[in-house]
Structure 1
Amino acid sequence: MAIISAFAVYFVIWWLTLFAVLPIGLRTQAEDQSVTPGTVASAPSRFRGGRIFLLTTLVSALIYGAWIAGEAVFGFSMKDLPVIIPAIK
């Protein structure tokens, strides 16, 4: 796999993992009963960006490692993914 393709696959995995990790451990202002004026009650009471980005990076690295292992051991590649737009003949 070319380096640009590898980076693109990792970036997509990282981005999807970010949205899966964001709600983990989230405490809203309503749950803490300390709503800051001018914000919605469902806003996070404490934003832990560093923890979220670190966890996202670790989980996506594991998923990407599984992708690479599948490529090396089982022969999976980018060509095995379904083609959305067929080639024009």
Structure 2
Amino acid sequence: MSRMGAVLQALAASTLRTLGVMVVVLATAVAVAVSLFKLSVFGALALYFVVWWTLLFVILPLRNQVESDPARMVPGQDPGAPASPRLREKAILTSLLASVVFLVTIQVFELAGL
């Protein structure tokens, strides 16, 4: 496992830790947007939400492996369902990537006062 993967797993060890990391990343990105790019707090939160939600659907299918053990399959389970979806790790990864895309977006487009 790579060092980044180990850090991501440690940050996603519990739901509360994951939420804490996501709030810190969100607050940092919004604070930068408000102070440097003159966005309103509401406008920054709204734009961040749109970027985050869009990137979540980009990241969700990455590195999924289907359940190959027939003993672990439950009746009615889709054969393509991931064995371990790692949603907490993907939420943190989405937050980090969304912050970068969010800051690049507000730098490229003139959104002051939004």
For the criterion TM > 0.5, the same-fold answer is: yes
Q: Which moved more, 1:2-11 or 1:60-69?
A: 60-69
Partner of 1:87: none
User: CA offset at residue 68 of structure 1?
Assistant: 2.9
Q: 2: CA distance between counterparts of 1:45 and 1:78? A: 44
Q: 2: CA distance between counterparts of 1:23 and 1:51? A: 13
Q: 1: CA distance between counterparts of 2:57 and 2:85? A: 15
Structure 1 residues without counterparts, runs of 5 or longer: 80-89
Q: 2: CA distance between counterparts of 1:78 and 1:27? A: 43
Partner of 2:107: 69
In the TM superposition, what whole-angstrom CA distance separates every residue of 1:28-79 from its partner, at most 9, and x where no partner exists? Answer: 12xxx224122111111012012100110011000011023225xxxx1279
* SS of residue paired to 1:52: helix
Partner of 2:69: 34
Partner of 2:53: 15
Instruction: Pick the structure with greater CA Rg.
Output: 1
Task: Compare the two structures and name the one with the higher helix fraction.
Answer: 2
Partner of 2:29: none
User: CA offset at residue 26 of structure 1?
Assistant: 0.8
Q: 2: CA distance between counterparts of 1:10 and 1:62? A: 10
Q: TM-score, normalised by structure 1?
A: 0.72
Q: 1: CA distance between counterparts of 2:87 and 2:99? A: 18
Detail structure 1 runs of 4+ shifted over 4 Å in the superposition: none
Q: RCO greater where, 1 or 2, for CA within 8 Å and sep 6 or more? A: 2
Identical aligned residues as a percent: 25
Provide the aligned length of Structure 1 versus Structure 2.
Answer: 72
